[in-house]
Amino acid sequence: MVFRRSMFRKNYPSQAFVSRLVLLCFHLNKRLVMMSMPKLSGESSEPPANSGASQIDEGTTAADVSDAGGENDPSSAGKFTEGEMAIHRIHRQACAAKKQMYVDPSSGYKVFTEYAHLQRGKCCGSACRHCPYGQVNVKDPATKKRFNSLFYV
């Protein structure tokens, strides 16, 4: 017995148009996401040597932000806010005490320390700010699957 596609569902031109439109929207969004990622001319595909960690001087607000993009304001480049300094101070104290976690003062959440990451031996995938592994396991939210109701029509 020969089964044809038209035996089970009818072919509507509008359905083909909608499915093609959804496909084009998907490719357009994918292209926009790729274009929106900044790629500087001097930037290489390899992660930076210090894996994204900024070095903060003791007792001052000046810092080495050679790998941080930061704000567009050139006067604020190299300066940290008091909140960022408090986070760094608490993190440094927690690492010195060999604690696994500390409470982030800005959000109130418990955060892994760099010491905890080194004990774990790999990136946890939670986009921790103190990750010594360059956040290699963090999933890109742009690649998250979205529910397509037209698929089930």
pTM above 0.75, yes or no: no
- Average pLDDT, integer, range 22-47: 47
Percent of the chain residues past pLDDT 90, beyond the cut: 6
Rounded to 10 degrees, the C-alpha dihedral 92/79/135/88 comes to 10
Q: How many CB atoms lie within 10 A of CB 86?
A: 14
Residue 56's DSSP bridge partners are: 63
Residue 65's pLDDT is: 40
Residues 99 and 111: their CA atoms lie apart, in Å, by: 11
